[in-house]
Structure 1
Amino acid sequence: MQQFEKKLLYILLLFGLISIPFSLRGKNYKNWVIIFLLNSYSNTFVAPILAEKKFLLYPVRLLPKIYKSSIIYDYCLCSLVSVWYCRSTKSDHWLNSFLKVWLFSIPQAIVEKWLEKHTQLIKYNKGWTWIHSLLTITTAKLAVRSLLPLMNWMDENSKHSEEPHTKTS
């Protein structure tokens, strides 16, 4: 059975690596890179704690001697979904972005639950359920999304400071 999981991990890795350039391109590429990196950075702290406390187990994973969680999910796939969510809500009012987050976090939690039930890639433990994952995923996406207005404001201010100032006589 581990052979299936290993193949699936490599397929997911390939999908993620191919998706990154397409997901980060565009007018606001700096914002998307920051969102991607911030999500990955936050996963650096949260995922290992959940794995260390054994709420989530990852029986089959890449680099098992180095990382106790799923590197592909934490540093690639989860961050990509956060970028897609932020891109789709970049101009939305906070209520619309709050409603849209569920369009991204529910499918993500459903896929995780399916993987938990049918593979050895992830296992829930110590009372952890798909609801915990859904709430964690949603909270993380909303937290990262809340930084978009600040990034846009900083970008606008940097553009204004770069404009040449003309003297009027």
Structure 2
Amino acid sequence: MDTIILWFLLFLGFILFGFIFRKPPIHYWLFTFLLTSYCSTFIGVIVVEKGMLEYPIRLLANYFESSILYEYLLFPIICVYFCQHTYDSTYKIWVIQAIFYNAFFTLVEIILEHYTDLIHYYTWTWLYTFISTFALMVIIRTIVQFVPKKPTYS
């Protein structure tokens, strides 16, 4: 059953990926996706290597200890959607929306941790997930606002 959930999430991620670049400015969303992937991978490797959590069932398990599905696809997609929905919003709205996005994402992780073998907490808790993803989303959204509206080509 866990493998089916994993493949379903991969399929869902690919479908959602197809929609994130349909809304201009595309360079914002590409930058957001790649920056989120980079940062979440960096943090994810540290957390897994420190033994704070484990992904017993994962894609490409022979090559990666962390969840590449989460770090390279699902979380970056969610972050792009968050940035798209807060594109013309104030900082106060960013924070409120980031709380809701992360509450949903954390709830899904809690359910997966309790009822599947996709993730196991050791010293990690749901609160760490919420705080780290919230902070990362707000930091990335702050960085993205400084990307020029129109790319300049030399």
Residue matched to 2:30: 33
Deviation of the 1:148 alpha carbon: 2.2
Higher relative contact order (CA 8 A, sep 6+): 2
1:146 aligns to what SS in structure 2? helix
TM-score (norm 2): 0.95
Aligned to 1:148: 144
* Offset from partner CA, 1:9-63 (integer Å, 9 cap, x none): 1111011111112112222111011101110011221101100111111111111
Is the CA contact 2:113–2:121 (under 8 Å) kept in the aligned structure 1? yes
Runs of 4+ in structure 1 deviating by more than 4 angstroms, as ranges, are none
Q: Which residue of 1 aligns with 2:132?
A: 136
1:75 is matched by which residue type in structure 2?
Y
Q: Unaligned 5+ residue runs, structure 2?
A: none
Code of the aligned partner of 1:56: L
Q: Which residue of 2 aligns with 1:8?
A: 5
2:65 pairs with 1:68:
yes
Instruction: Verify: 1:93 aligned to 2:87, yes or no.
Output: no
> How far apart, CA to CA, are the structure 2 residues paired with 1:21 and 1:147?
24
Correspondent of 1:54 among 51, 55, 71: 51
TM-score between the two structures when normalised by the length of structure 1: 0.87
Conserved 8 A contact 1:90-1:148: no
CA distance in 2, matches of 1:131, 1:91: 29
Number of residue pairs matched?
Answer: 154
Residues 43-100 of structure 1: per-residue CA shift (max 9 Å, x gap) = 2211011001111111111111211111111100001110111000011111111111
How large is the RMSD of aligned CA atoms in angstroms? 1.5
Structure 1 unpaired stretches of 5+:
163-169
CA contact (8 A) 2:25 2:149 kept: no
Tell me the amino acid that sits aligned with residue 131 of structure 1: L
CA distance in 1, matches of 2:40, 2:3: 22
